Every structure is written in structure tokens, then in C-alpha cells.
């Protein structure tokens, strides 16, 4: 045990400074090869690099549009491209990854032939909430990790098109007032805060759970005119339940809205719209990883009809309506809007 003397500024748990590396190694099963642990550690490093660039973005002229349009037809921002590049460069040569899927690239990304093939698939949104970059509002990297279907083959499209139920790990790195890494490898959700003077992620909270009583609901109210009658009735139900104690919070970065609701309890939703029947959120690298985390934290995620984790993707960039957060709030939306039984 370390003496507290002189270390009082550092977060300690039972007198120990728990770095992410130590935590990951302690959680790794004894018979594991360590590849998954190493991928998570590589992602933590990517998070540190992206965090450093995000903090200096205004100084380095990284804010603003990069002059390209991504596969969703949205303007790519310079930091999106930088974050995407950092994650690919840190993962393509390690022999641990079989293929990558990123929001910023139209096709799935193959591992160059000169590098060993790996047994894991990495899917990610390099910077979720990127419309908030220019205005200094929290953004984040979302990631999910799958096993390849056939270890003997190099990564293929079918390895990438797996349902969230097959995720072996998922998480996000949030670039907010502090930088946090939150992840689950199927045994609870754990969070780490980047200690800037050390450049290390230190354990903040082990086994996070949605609080029983929710505090927030997060929907873009302005889109209410494009929602179904049933969807609007659900919003009215949210307003009137819990003795009117639920507050509305929505900042346009799903990852940040999710994080707030994980800590204080609540539900985030991006419903189907009249002209966008699948909403806006992408299944593979946005909805499924957060759904995995939600279930690990005692919550639930649905598209209004079924668990997000049960949907088998047919396209790497497909969109899906999303409701994620406290289980009872998400079950209620299913009860009110599901088209299955009608």
C-alpha cells in the first residue's frame, strides 16, 4: 500500500493508484492471450492522443470543416479525420485486429497484407457529436470489439456484420471537462479519468449502474413534428411521470447524453422520423456499443420493437431508431410505440 503522503492529489482506491493498465491486467482471465487487453490499452492510447489534439484544436487550426463529405453525406470535420487516422494507425499493424469499420470510411478497412491477421474486429465512431466540435462541447469516441467468425481467414465483411449480442467489449472515450474512458468487457462497466499531469487513465468507478430513479430524458424535441403520434405520447408520458421530476437535457452528442444518463439515470432517444424511418444513429458503431454498456449497467436499449443487441446488421453504416437508458423507461417506449403487436 502506498503512503498517501505527497500523493494526496491523486485519486486512490484503498491506498492504491489503479491505472487502466493494472486494472485491465487484473481483469484478464488467466488463460487469455492478452490480445483483448492490449486492444483496450491501444484504444486508451488513441484516446490520449485525440484528447491532446482536441484540447489544442483551437490553437492548431483543427477546428472546422476538412472539405470532404463522409459516407453519410455529412461534412467531415478536421478532428474527425485526425481521430480516424490515429485509431487506424494504432491498430492496423498489431496482429490483433482482423478488420475495422469506421464511420468515416465508406468500406470496411482491411489490414494490409504485410501485417499479421488478427482475431478481433474493431468498429468505431472516431468522434461522435462532431457538430459540437467548433463550439467546445463534449464529444467522444465510441468503440465495439467483436471476435472474427473464422480465425483461420483474414477479416471479411461477414466478420463485421455481427449483432451487438456478439460484442466481447465496448466503450467510449469522452472528451469533456475531463477525458474519461468507460468500457465493459462483459463483466460490468468501469470508468477511468485521464490524469493530465501523468498522462494516465486512473480508475474512477468500478461496476457502474444506472441509478434506480432517473433524472433526465434526452430527445431532440424540435423533431417532434416528424415523429408518430405514439412517439409524442411517450414524450408526454415522460413529462408526466416521476411526479414531474424528470428534466430534459439534450446536447447533440449521444455519447455525452448517454454518459450523463448513466450517472444520473435517464433515457436517450433518437426515434424514427417521417422521412428518416431509421432515424439517424448508426447501428454498428454507435447504437450497439452503447446498448452493450447499457445492459452491463443494468439498463436496456431498443429500437422500439426489440433489443438493439439482437439486430443483425446487413450494411456496415445502417441506421436504427435508438432508445437507451434505464430499463423501465426503455421498456415503456416499446410498450407505447411497438408496431409488432399492432
Which residues would be at the binding site for ligand AHM (CB under 6 A)?
Answer: 74, 103, 125, 128-131, 220, 252-254, 270, 280
Q: Return the SS3 of 317.
A: coil
Please count the residues of this chain forming the interface with Mg ion, following the rule CB under 5 A.
Answer: 4
Q: How far is the CB of 103 from ligand AHM (least distance, A)?
A: 6
Q: Which does 254 bind (CB under 5 to 8 A by kind): Mg ion, ligand AHM, none?
A: ligand AHM
Q: How far is the CB of 209 from ligand AHM (least distance, A)?
A: 23
Q: How far is the CB of 292 from ligand AHM (least distance, A)?
A: 17
Q: Which does 220 bind (CB under 5 to 8 A by kind): Mg ion, ligand AHM, none?
A: ligand AHM
Cβ nearer to Mg ion, comparing 175 with 300: 175
Cβ nearer to ligand AHM, comparing 110 with 264: 264
Q: How far is the CB of 50 from ligand AHM (least distance, A)?
A: 14
Q: Which of 92, 125, 257, 273 binds Mg ion (CB under 5 A)?
A: 125
Strands 65-69 and 120-128, sheet pairing: unpaired
Cβ nearer to ligand AHM, comparing 17 with 137: 137
Q: Return the SS3 of 55.
A: helix
Place of cell 444518463: 261
Q: Are the C-beta atoms of residues 210 and 262 closer than 8 Å to each other?
A: yes
Q: Are the C-beta atoms of residues 77 and 54 closer than 8 Å to each other?
A: no
Q: Which does 259 bind (CB under 5 to 8 A by kind): Mg ion, ligand AHM, none?
A: none
Residue of minimal Cβ distance to ligand AHM: 254
Q: Are the C-beta atoms of residues 121 and 98 closer than 8 Å to each other?
A: yes
Q: Which does 74 bind (CB under 5 to 8 A by kind): ligand AHM, Mg ion, none?
A: ligand AHM
Sheet arrangement for strand 109-110: 109-110, 97-102, 120-128, 139-147, 169-175, 179-184, 190-195, 200-205
Cβ nearer to ligand AHM, comparing 257 with 295: 257
Cβ nearer to Mg ion, comparing 18 with 288: 288
Q: Are the C-beta atoms of residues 309 and 296 closer than 8 Å to each other?
A: no
Report CA-CA distances (Å) from 164 to 2, 167, 242, 245, 261.
41, 5, 31, 33, 21
Q: Are the C-beta atoms of residues 77 and 53 closer than 8 Å to each other?
A: no
Q: How far is the CB of 164 from ligand AHM (least distance, A)?
A: 17
Give yes or no for residue 257 binding Mg ion (CB under 5 A). no
Cβ nearer to Mg ion, comparing 130 with 307: 130
Q: Which does 170 bind (CB under 5 to 8 A by kind): ligand AHM, Mg ion, none?
A: none
Distance from chain centroid for Cα 31: 28
Cβ nearer to ligand AHM, comparing 105 with 220: 220
Return d(Cα 124, Cα 289) in angstroms, integer.
9
C-alpha cell at 162: 455481427
Stretch that binds Mg ion, among 96-104, 217-225, 248-256, 320-328 (CB under 5 A): 96-104
CA angle (249 as vertex; 243, 251 as ends), nearest 5: 170
Q: How far is the CB of 169 from ligand AHM (least distance, A)?
A: 21
Q: Return the SS3 of 38.
A: helix
Containing H/E element for 123? strand 120-128
Q: How far is the CB of 240 from Mg ion (least distance, A)?
A: 34
For 214, how many CA atoms within 13 A lie in the half-sphere containing its CB?
27
Q: How far is the CB of 195 from ligand AHM (least distance, A)?
A: 27
Q: Which does 141 bind (CB under 5 to 8 A by kind): Mg ion, ligand AHM, none?
A: none
Indicate left, alpha or beta for 141 from its phi (over 0: left) and psi (-120 to 50: alpha).
Answer: beta
Residues making contact with Mg ion (CB under 5 A):
103, 125, 128, 130
Amino acid at each position: 500500500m502506498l503512503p498517501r503522503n505527497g500523493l494526496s492529489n491523486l485519486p486512490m482506491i484503498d491506498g492504491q493508484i489503479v491505472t487502466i493498465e493494472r486494472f485491465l491486467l487484473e481483469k484478464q482471465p488467466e488463460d487469455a492471450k492478452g490480445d483483448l487487453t492490449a486492444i483496450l490499452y491501444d484504444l486508451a492510447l488513441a484516446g490520449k492522443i485525440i484528447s491532446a489534439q482536441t484540447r489544442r484544436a483551437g490553437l492548431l487550426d483543427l477546428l472546422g470543416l476538412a472539405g470532404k463529405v463522409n459516407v453519410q453525406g455529412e461534412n467531415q470535420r478536421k478532428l474527425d479525420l485526425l481521430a480516424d487516422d490515429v485509431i487506424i494507425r494504432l491498430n492496423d499493424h498489431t496482429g490483433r485486429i482482423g478488420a475495422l469499420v469506421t464511420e468515416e470510411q465508406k468500406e470496411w478497412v482491411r489490414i494490409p497484407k504485410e501485417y499479421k491477421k488478427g482475431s478481433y474486429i474493431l468498429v468505431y465512431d472516431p468522434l461522435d457529436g462532431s457538430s459540437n466540435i467548433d463550439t467546445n462541447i463534449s464529444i467522444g469516441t465510441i468503440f465495439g470489439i467483436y471476435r472474427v467468425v473464422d480465425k483461420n481467414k483474414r477479416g471479411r465483411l461477414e466478420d463485421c456484420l455481427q449483432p451487438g449480442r456478439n460484442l466481447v467489449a465496448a466503450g467510449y472515450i469522452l472528451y469533456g471537462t475531463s477525458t474519461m474512458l468507460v468500457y465493459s468487457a462483459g463483466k460490468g462497466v468501469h470508468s477511468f479519468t485521464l490524469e493530465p499531469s501523468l498522462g494516465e487513465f486512473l480508475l474512477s468507478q468500478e461496476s457502474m449502474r444506472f441509478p434506480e430513479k432517473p433524472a433526465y430524458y434526452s430527445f431532440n424535441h424540435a423533431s417532434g413534428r416528424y415523429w408518430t403520434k405514439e412517439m409524442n405520447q411517450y414524450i408526454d408520458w415522460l413529462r408526466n411521470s416521476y411526479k414531474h421530476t424528470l428534466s430534459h437535457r439534450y446536447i447533440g452528442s449521444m455519447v455525452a447524453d448517454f454518459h450523463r444518463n448513466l450517472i444520473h439515470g435517464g433515457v436517450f432517444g433518437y426515434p424514427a422520423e417521417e422521412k428518416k424511418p431509421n432515424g439517424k444513429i448508426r447501428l454498428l458503431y454507435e447504437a450497439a456499443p452503447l446498448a452493450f454498456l447499457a445492459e452491463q449497467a443494468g439498463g436496456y436499449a431498443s429500437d422500439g420493437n426489440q433489443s438493439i443487441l439482437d439486430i443483425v446488421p446487413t450494411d456496415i453504416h445502417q441506421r436504427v431508431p435508438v432508445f437507451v437508458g434505464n430499463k423501465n423507461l426503455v421498456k415503456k417506449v416499446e410498450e407505447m410505440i411497438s408496431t409488432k403487436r399492432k
